[in-house]
Each structure stands twice: as C-alpha cells, then as structure tokens.
Amino acid sequence: MKILKVCSACLLLLALVFCSKGPEPKDKVLEAKVERLLSQMTLEEKIGQMNQISSFGNIEDMSVLIKRGEVGSILNEVDPVKVNALQRVAMEESRLGIPLLIARDVIHGFKTIFPIPLGQAASFNPEIAEAGARISAIEASSVGIRWTFAPMIDIARDPRWGRIAEGCGEDTYLTSVMGAAMVKGYQGDSLNHPTSIAACPKHFVGYGAGEGGRDYASTFIPERLLRNVYLPPFEAAARAGAATYMTSFNDNDGVPSTGNAFILKNILRDEWGFDGLVVTDWASAVEMIPHGFAANEKEVALKSVNAGVDMEMVSYTFVKYLPGLTKEGKVKQHTIDNAVRNILRLKLRLGLFDNPFVDENQGSVLYAESHLETAKKAAVESAVLLKNENEILPLKENIKTVAVVGPMADAPHDQLGTWVFDGEKAHTQTPLKAIREMYGDKVQVIYEPGLKYSRDRNTEGIARAATTAARADVILTFVGEEAILSGEAHCLADLKLVGAQSELIAALRNTGKPLVTIVMAGRPLTIRKEVELSDAVLYNFHPGTMGGPAIADLLFGKEVPSGKLPVTFPKMVGQIPIYYAHNNTGRPPLGNETLLYDIPVEAGQTSLGNRSFYLDAGVDPLYPFGYGLSYTTFAYNNIRLSSNEYTEQDTIKIAFDLENTGKYTATEVVQLYIQDKVASVTRPVKELKGFERITLKAGEKQTIAMEVPVSELAFWNIDMVKVVEPGDFGLWIAGDSQSGNEVLFKVVG
Ligand code: GLC
C-alpha cells in the first residue's frame, strides 16, 4: 500500500481561507504614523493622494504636479532612473515628502513572460502560479514598480469575451485557489520587502458576465449568484492578504461598480474587513457619465468617493471637484480621511517612506536563467493534450524528418499573448527555434509557414507548405490567434480559426502524413473540424517566453502533458454560455436526443421530447471543463468515503486508488466534484471542491486521500444566508468534469 497523499490544493486553499494572513493585523505604530501624517495634511494634499496619473514621460511636467501635492500614484513608468527622479521630487520637494505608489500591469510576467493566466489555470498548479507571480514581482520591483494590477480573477463563462485570456476561467474554486496563490506570489512574505509588490485583485466585480461576451457590457448578476459564483475568488484573495482592489467597468443591475457602495463598502469593508486601497479602473469613474449614472464630472467624484473609492485612475475628477464637494458638505471630511488612511497605510506597509528608491543597475534579475526555467515549467504544465490518435505523440525514434508549418510556429510576439507591455519578443523562444536547437540532432527540420500570420487569408503559400510537408515523416502545424485577438476590448462573435488556417490544415491532411496540430490562443476556439482532421492536438493558451522549449519537450516526450481545461470548449458559438457547473433545469437532456439530420420528415410536434438541448448541437461541449489527456492512462478505482453521513462540523475524507495504466511516468490532475441534490434554491449539477496533481510511474498505483470540510458546501440560500443545508449529496473523483462514478452521502442537521 503506497503512501497516502493528501489534497495539497484543498489544504492550500483552506490555509489561505481559514488561517491565512487575511487583512494585515492592525499595527499600532503604523497607524499612529498614518494619523500623525494625516493631521498635518491640507484638504488639497489629502485629495492629491487620491489621484493617480499615467506617466507621460516628461519628468519636469510630472514633477510640477508632484510638488503641488496633486499626485499619490503613477502608473506606466518603468524606467528606474525616472522612477527615482519622481520619487526624489515627491520625497524632497513636496511639502510633506510622501512617496509615490508606482504601478504597472504585470499580468503574467514583467520581462520573463509566463503563460497567460488562463494557461496557468490549466496547470491546476497554484504553486507554479505563485512562483510566476513571485518572479514577476522580483523583476518588476527591480525597476521601481511596487504595485501590480493583478491577479485578474473575473469568472468568465463566455469565450467570446477577449479578457477570458486574463483570468483563471469559468470555475469559482479553481479561480479562488489560483488567485490567492498569485496574491501570495506578488506580495511575498511581507509587503515591506523590496521585491514585494502590492497585488490588486480585479475587476471587482462580475465583469466577466458582460452581455453577449462583449467587453464593458452590462451585467445582470443577482446577489445570490454574485455571492455564490463571482465574489468567492475575491474573498479568497482578501483572506490571502490582497493589499488593493480595482473596480470593474461594468454596471451590474444598473449600478457601475465604481459607484457601488454595496460591493465596495458592505461587502469588501464591512463583511471582509478589508483595510487596503480601492482604485478605479482606467477612467471607470468618469465613464459613469456615458453609463448614464452621473450627469457630470462633479457627480462622478461625488458618487465614486461616497461609494468607497480611495484612488481615481487618470480621470482627475477628485482633484477638480472633491475640495468643493467637501466644503459643500456633500462629501464628509471623514470620507476623505478614510481614503487617505488607506493610501498612506499601503505606502507605509510597502516601506516606501523608508526607501522608495531602486538600484538603477539591477538588470541582472531580468530574464534570469532560473526565471526562464520556471516559465518553461509553467508552459509545460499549462499545455492541454486534446487528442492523440494511435499515440502519434510523443514523436517516436523512427521519425527522422519533421515538417514545421503554420503562422504560429515562429511568432515571437504573438506567442507571448495579451497584456505584455514589457516582455520583449527578442527573448521569445519559439517552437521552430526550440525544435531546431533542441532536437535538430535527432530529426531533420523542414519549415514552411504557409501563412504569414494567423489572420492571413492569402492562400498562395498553402500549396508550397503542403508540398514541403509531404516530404516529412510527421507534420507539426502551429495555428491559433495573434496576441491582439484576445485581451481587453478584443471580443469575437465567431470562434473559428481566423484567416486561412483551416484551409492550411485541410491541405496538410491531404498529404496523408501524420498531422499534429498545436494551437496557441487566448481562449477556447471552435476547432471541431480541425480536430477531426488532425491525428493529435496540443492546446496552449499563449505560453509565453519559453513556450517553444516547453512544446518541443512535450512533442518529443521529454515532458508529458498534464494540463486540464480551465474553461469549457463549445462545439459552436451558439452553445455559449456553456459551462459545467450549470443548473439542471426541470427538463435536463436525457442524452438520447434526436439531432437535426436524424429528425424524420414531418416529425410530430412533441416527438423529439421537450428537453433542454440544441437540435443542431446537442448539449455536450466539444471538450468539458477539467478535460486533458496524457501520454499514459489513469484508472480511478475503489472510491470510498469515511462515512455516508456527516454533520456540518465534519470533514469528508475520501480515499481512492489511482493507477498509471500506461507506459509513461505522468501527472494526473485528480478532481473532486460535489453536487447538492436538493436545496432551498436550485444548485449546480456539480461543483469543483478539490484537485491535486499526482505523479505516478508507469504501472504505479497509489491510494490517494483527499478531504473537504462539510463547511465548504455552504452556499447563499433562499434567505440570503450562507449555510450548509442538510440533505443528499453526490461526489465524483475523476479526471474531468464529465467523467467518474457518483458516490452518495448525506449531511444531517
Ligand atoms: C485597463 C484595464 C485594467 C488595467 C488598467 C490599467 O483598462 O481594464 O485591467 O489594470 O486599465 O492599465
């Protein structure tokens, strides 16, 4: 009997949620410093701290604003010489010498670029996400950045939304675990360490539910759904000690987040005890005018500050209107004072008053070898094997010539993905480069892009690519999306491969040679046809600087794929929204529904059975949440629970046998799902409540132990109270959200 393994992810989240740092404990000395400084500040100086500007490069002009005490923070300045110059003006030439908060969007790396967060989520490995955030903080802080606008933890269930790339996918539990790990990575063990940077969970809240998958669109999330699905990752981040939060662009049920006191005060402050800083998104305050929620900039300032915003990003209404509004009594002095307390508290916690300056020669940490190695590991673990017919992968010894084809094979800029301001494409190691350098001694590499870039509709190169590819023993075609096709404001109404990529794949298929399709994208794509044409498909959510070496090692078998989908893949756009943790409805599909072309002519009105499904698409996705293949196979057996009845105070202990029934040492992400079968409101058909990466040698079998406190089954019920309701529950342990055998248990009152 092998060693019992306990679910580390469950323990990690439990540690984060129940016994983690949470909001920093009140530091009496620090609070006294805050009060002492506050008491010396004029109203204008206080309001100046609440103003964030974006660097426009001109130090002299920015210095004028800083000297006037009009700037509390600057984003988008990454030149350490300029950062030091600006800090020196703030410390030595403003009346009170208050240092600046220097901020940047360090979303998945600063110089060393990691897989986009959606890819990191596919690793189901919070430790690699934390390591990536830690490295990002080390590199960013080396140029003077001490605040990042990350992690983005918006739950996203609509892949038409370009920003699905930036988050951790559709699942509340996975996003909670990964987001909390990223917060810990950015902030380190203590905020005042010079390599720590303040995290900023965003976008608070519900931004990923925009109508039609359109960015900035209105959302209509009722409070119960907000509390059961969209808020928990932000609460987990708060319990992990997140230092700041950013308001989201969307209006939810008619209220823009930047003017929403319910979320910014009732929930964030009163319920969660958050004592950090709330910043708006870029101009999200003044955008309450086009929202139709504020008539003018004065009302913008009034509504956002009274709703609980501490700092305004770039739209300047605080500086312009808060002095007057305060004198008119429409904004209370204590509102201003509390906002400034939150800002000063963060600056003190970061140690900026002691030393806001940075060593201007710290280039050595940028792209450090260890950073690149970690980025490669992250890219390996983020890759998801969707298909592998006849075990074409990993490439075998008898393969002597490989054809590398496609617009993403050597795309150093696009491989990095969205939200890359500082990573340089010159450092990107592409698949073509990596295969040539790492495996050029084993195989002859012939390269023909076929298309110049993903949207290329010029098919002239396809014939040449196919002719070249026909000479090879195997074809490796790299397709997907350029970086610009996902991310902010980059939404798509259709998710098929853009340009002539599909034609390229068809032409390669016609050569009759084994065809491996490697996708690099910022989101799920509707690639059913291309999957059918391919013998194997490896899916990478823009893998970052080291994507090439990672993919090369996966293709040639030095590494084995372990990634699992953090988001459901629809067959077609018409199925969206489509996600595994859906409600059952009163007429769930039975799985035997007659589909479009099997319907008899003149079929009777009710002959098809009135169930919830699509005549032309059924109800199943192309691939479910949690899905991912390996080069080996795993068998799950003998799942047993410590009891079949639990009280709310109990912990459900699960044990099962996992066996590696294949030929390769490999890692499986075992997933634990639970369903609350009957409750005071309808509940999802299943919800992820635990996962862990288990590595087994070929033929090895282990008994794995996982556990879930019954308290983790709590939800906001019909009375809007968070409780565990007694009743019947189902539990699955499997390798994806659609597999596994159900085990039943009860919770008794
Ligand atoms: C952008 C994004 C936000 C980002 C901010 C600063 O519009 O919505 O995620 O942090 O502006 O760049």
DSSP 165-230: GGS--S-HHHHHHHHHHHHHHHH-S-TTSTT--B---BSBTTGGG-GGG-TT--B---HHHIIIII
Average pLDDT over residues 310-314: 99
For atom 8 of ligand 1, the residue with the nearest CA is 281
Mean pLDDT on 81-105: 97
Q: Which of 171, 281, 310, 535 is catalytic?
A: 281
Say how far apart CA 335 and CA 261 lie, in whole Å. 13
Residue 6 has pLDDT above 50, yes or no: no
Distance between CA atoms of residues 605 and 21, nearest Å: 60
- In degrees and rounded to multiples of 5, residue 245 shows phi and psi of -135, 155
Task: Summarize pLDDT for 510-534 with one digit per residue, the tens.
Answer: 999 999 999 999 999 999 999 999 9
Ligand 1: nearest atom to the Cα of 249: 8
202 CA: nearest ligand 1 atom: 9
Cα separation, 543 vs 521, whole angstroms: 9
**H/E stretch holding 576:** none
* Distance from the alpha carbon of residue 282 to the mean position of ligand 1, in angstroms: 6
Taking every pair of Cα atoms in the chain, the longest distance, rounded to a whole number of angstroms, is: 85
Q: Are 679 and 715 in contact (CB under 8 A)?
A: yes
What average pLDDT does range 35-51 have in this prediction?
98
pLDDT class for 23, splitting at 50, 70, 90? low
Rounded CA-CA distance 325/337 in Å is 14
**Is the preceding peptide bond at 151 cis, omega within 30 degrees of 0?**
yes
Instruction: Quickly state the pLDDT bin for 3 (edges 50, 70, 90).
Output: very low
Distance of CA 683 to the CA centre of its chain: 24
- Estimate the crossing angle of helix 333-349 against helix 28-40, to 10 degrees: 130
- Closest by alpha carbon to 46, among 342, 350, 348? 342
The residues facing 278 across adjacent strands are 245
Residue holding tokens 């600056």? 347
Spatial CA neighbour of 620 closest among 582, 591, 586, 594: 591
Segment 450-465, tens digit of pLDDT: 999 999 999 999 999 9
Mean pLDDT value across the chain: 96
> Which DSSP string corresponds to 584-622?
--SS---S-PPPGGGSPTT--TTTT---SSBTTTBS--S
- Which carries the bigger pLDDT value, residue 17 or residue 354? 354
pLDDT at 436: 98
What confidence score (pLDDT) does residue 17 get?
43
CB atoms within 10 A of CB 557: 14
Q: Which uninterrupted H or E stretch holds 402?
A: strand 401-405
Residue 506 scores a pLDDT above 70? yes
Rounded percentage of the chain residues whose pLDDT exceeds 70: 96
Q: Whose CA is nearest to atom 7 of ligand 1?
A: 282
Q: What is the pLDDT of residue 9?
A: 46
Sheet strands (E) in 513-585: 515-521, 536-541
E strands, 543-586, are none
Please report the pLDDT score of residue 57 as a whole number: 81
CA 136 to chain centre: 15
pLDDT score recorded for residue 609 = 87
| pLDDT confidence of residue 555 | 98
What percentage of the chain exceeds 90 in pLDDT?
95
Closest CA to 73 of 83, 428, 81, 683: 83
User: Position 731: which residue type?
Assistant: L
Mutate to test the pocket of ligand 1, among 78, 104, 105, 245 (most ligand atoms within 8 A of CB): 105
Average pLDDT over residues 69-94: 97
Q: Ligand 1 centroid vs 105 CA: distance in angstroms?
A: 7
Q: Is 281 a catalytic residue?
A: yes
Whether the per-residue pLDDT at 20 is higher than 60: the answer is no
Residue 202 alpha carbon to ligand 1 centre in Å:
9
What atom in ligand 1 is closest to the CA of residue 200? 10
Q: Which residues contact 145 (CB under 8 A, 6 or more apart)?
A: 78, 83, 102, 103, 104, 106, 110, 197
* pLDDT score at 25: 61
Atom 11 (ligand 1): residue with closest C-alpha? 282
pLDDT tens figures, 542-584: 999 999 999 999 999 999 999 999 999 999 999 999 999 999 9
Mean pLDDT of 589-609: 94
How far is ligand 1, taken at its centre, from the CA of residue 150, in Å?
10
**Residue 281 alpha carbon to ligand 1 centre in Å:** 6
Show the ligand 1 pocket: residues with CB < 6 angstroms: 105, 149, 202, 281-282, 488
CA-CA distances (angstroms) from residue 121 to 128, 372, 563? 10, 19, 9
Mean pLDDT of 225-251: 98
Helix pair 317-327, 297-307: axis angle to 10 deg = 80
**Mean pLDDT, residues 649-673:** 98
Q: Residue with the nearest Cα to atom 12 of ligand 1?
A: 105
| Omega of the bond leading into 126 within 30 degrees of 0 (cis) | no
DSSP per-residue letters across 285-335: TGGGTTTTS-SSHHHHHHHHHHHT--BEES--HHHHHHHHHHHTTSS-HHH
Atom 10 in ligand 1: which residue has the minimum CA distance? 149
User: What's the Rg (C-alpha) of the chain?
Assistant: 27
Mean pLDDT of 330-357: 98
Measured in angstroms, how far is the CA atom of residue 167 from the centroid of ligand 1?
13
pLDDT of residue 333: 98
Pocket test for ligand 1, best of 258, 488, 490 (most atoms within 8 A of CB): 488
Angle at 539 between CA 534 and CA 541, to 5 degrees: 150
Does this model's pTM top 0.85? Answer: yes
**Strand runs labelled E in 602-686:** 634-641, 645-646, 651-660, 666-676
